[in-house]
């Protein structure tokens, strides 16, 4: 345990050095956030498939309860129940198109984590930074509960609980609790809690800020105590289901699935759940009385409970759907929380887009019409009116839109097109369009993963650390 404590101090110091210009000290947040004795209670595990490189290197790190797939390096880091998913990394010989450049990939891309502490964090996708195409780096970074680092190299950053950085290169930044940032490249910024920011330089800028007094009911994080709020309680109340899937070695599949679908070994599947063709259910997803139509997906840390998804639905990392009826081709963004009631359900029409980090929490029935964009906090029809717009109307905007706490500038058409293109790419990558021969994606390629466990030192000065491990073909 002595070496693990020294490692923690090293990480804290390096992050604080990077954040010195912001005068930000992570120490009060990180200390005792995860007791170090937890690091010896859980094994780490990695997947082997014929579709992904087996190339893992772990040095001077603790990996408790974490999952690895693909080409990954971890050095001088602590990873607690995190998912490092390298199944969309670029390969040697690929060509990356950026503006007017066509950049050849000269070696297989890898995820490179160094001097960082990732707590229940998802790392996924590939580096979209044209300067670092072959190395998706995460350095000197602290990421807390249920944050997402999605295609976003990070250097010297702090991510609060349920924060998401998406397709963004960050240096020396603080991203507040429940904030979402997709902004290309940012540095030396302190993004406050409850910010939803989507920017494409010279095209559009979408900026929404939650009223903090209302956000704190759902998720709140202050120094000296763990994350709190209803969303955190919702997740904690369902931990027991995951304990079983990680403790039992030979777990029988609880529902039958079509040959074109993929149900991860480490997902929780409760009774009355139906899985259709081309469906992808990722690890740490939680389904209960869920109906997933053809081509739908439930990504990591998603919860779908007493709900029906008609098909080709994207439920992005960390999204939660409870007591809802969803039409076709609906996108529900990262860490969104959608809750109807058993007798007062939420209904969302076809082709709608729920922005990342949206909270819809209703006590009376509510219907979102087809083809709408929704965002922010919605608890009644009046808030729906203030926090939504038809996509066809947004496409007509070419200057400024102000609605409540939302400020939008630029081309609405470019914004809508970018979202539609991305949704199509996600469905394609997940295998939603597989026809039995062509268009394979994760739903087909991730069916036969064998999992191997690795363990830390059980006691002594290295307790909680893992020995240096190199796993290659």
* Residue extent(s) of CATH 2.160.10.10 domains in the chain: 2-234+448-471, 239-395+422-445
Q: What is the 3-state secondary structure (H, E, C) of the chain?
A: CHHHHHHHHHHHHHHHHHCHHHCCCCHHHHCCCCCHHHHHCCCEEEEECCCCCCEEEEECEECCCCEEECEEEEECCEEECCEEECCCCCCCCCEEEECCEEEECCCCCEEEEECCEEECCEEECCCCCCCCCCEEEEECCEECCCCEEECCCEECCEECCCCEEECEEEECCEECCCCEEECEEEECCEECCCEEEEEECCCEEEEEECCHHHHHHHCECCCCCCCECHHHHHHHCCHHHHHHHHHCCCCCCCCCCCCCCEECCCCEECCCCEECCCCEECCCCEEEEEEECCCCEECCCCEEEEEEEEECCEECCCCEEECEEEEECCEECCCCEEECECCECEEECCCCEECCCCEEECCCCEEECCCEEECCEECCHHHHHHCEEEHHHHCCCCCEEEECCEEEEECHHHHHHHHHHHHHHHHHHCCCCCCCCCCCCHHHHCCCCEEEEECCCCCCCCCCCECCEEECC
Average pLDDT of 129-138?
Answer: 95
Q: What is the pLDDT of residue 382?
A: 97
| pLDDT for residue 419 is more than 80 | yes
- Record the pTM: 0.97
| pLDDT for residue 191 is more than 80 | yes
| pLDDT for residue 379 is more than 80 | yes
Q: Which CATH superfamily is domain 239-395+422-445 in?
A: Hexapeptide repeat proteins (2.160.10.10)
| pLDDT for residue 253 is more than 80 | no
Q: What is the pLDDT of residue 394?
A: 98
Q: What is the pLDDT of residue 473?
A: 87
CATH 3.90.950.10 holds for 2-234+448-471: no
């Amino acid at each position: 345990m002595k070496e693990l404590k020294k490692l923690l101090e090293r990480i804290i110091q390096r992050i604080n050095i990077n954040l010195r210009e912001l005068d930000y000290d992570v120490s009060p947040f990180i200390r005792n956030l995860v007791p170090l004795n937890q690091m010896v209670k859980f094994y780490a595990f990695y997947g082997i498939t014929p579709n992904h490189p087996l190339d893992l290197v772990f040095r001077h790190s603790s990996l408790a309860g974490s999952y690895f797939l693909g080409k990954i390096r971890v050095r001088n880091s602590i990873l607690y129940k995190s998912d490092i998913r390298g199944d969309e990394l670029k390969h040697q010989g690929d060509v990356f198109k950026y503006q007017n450049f066509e950049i050849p990939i000269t070696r297989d891309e890898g995820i490179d984590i160094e001097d960082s502490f990732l707590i229940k964090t998802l790392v996924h996708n590939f580096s979209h930074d044209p300067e670092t195409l072959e190395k998706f780096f995460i350095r000197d970074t602290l990421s807390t509960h249920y944050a997402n680092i999605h295609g976003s190299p990070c250097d010297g950053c702090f991510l609060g609980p349920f924060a998401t950085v998406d397709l963004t290169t960050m240096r020396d930044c603080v991203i507040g609790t429940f904030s979402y940032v997709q902004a290309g490249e940012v540095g030396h910024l302190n993004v406050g809690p409850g910010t939803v920011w989507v920017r494409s330089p010279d095209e559009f800028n979408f900026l929404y800020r939650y009223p903090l007094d209302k956000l704190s009911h759902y998720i709140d994080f202050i120094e000296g105590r763990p994350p709190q709020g209803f969303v955190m309680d919702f997740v904690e109340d369902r931990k027991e289901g995951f304990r079983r899937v990680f403790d039992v070695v030979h777990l029988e599949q609880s529902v039958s699935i079509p040959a074109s679908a993929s149900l991860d070994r480490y997902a929780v599947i409760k009774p009355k759940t139906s899985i259709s063709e081309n469906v992808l259910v990722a690890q740490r997803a939680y389904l209960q009385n869920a109906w997933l139509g053809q081509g739908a997906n439930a990504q990591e840390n998603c919860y779908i409970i007493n709900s029906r998804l008609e098909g080709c639905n994207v439920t992005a990392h960390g999204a939660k759907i409870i007591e809802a009826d969803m039409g076709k081709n609906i996108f529900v963004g990262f860490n969104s929380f959608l809750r109807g009631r058993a007798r007062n359900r939420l209904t969302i029409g076809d082709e709608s887009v729920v922005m990342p980090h949206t909270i819809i929490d209703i006590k009376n029935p509510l219907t979102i019409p087809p083809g709408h964009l929704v965002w922010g906090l919605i608890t009644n029809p009046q808030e729906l009116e203030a926090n939504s717009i038809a996509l066809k109307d947004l496409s007509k905007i070419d200057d400024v839109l102000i609605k409540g706490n939302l400020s939008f500038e630029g081309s609405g058409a470019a914004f809508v097109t970018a979202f539609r293109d991305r949704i199509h790419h996600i469905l394609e990558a997940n295998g939603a369009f597989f026809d039995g021969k062509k268009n394979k994606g994760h739903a087909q390629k991730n069916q036969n993963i064998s999992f191997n466990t690795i363990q830390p030192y059980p006691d002594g000065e290295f307790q909680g650390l893992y020995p240096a491990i190199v796993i290659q073909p």
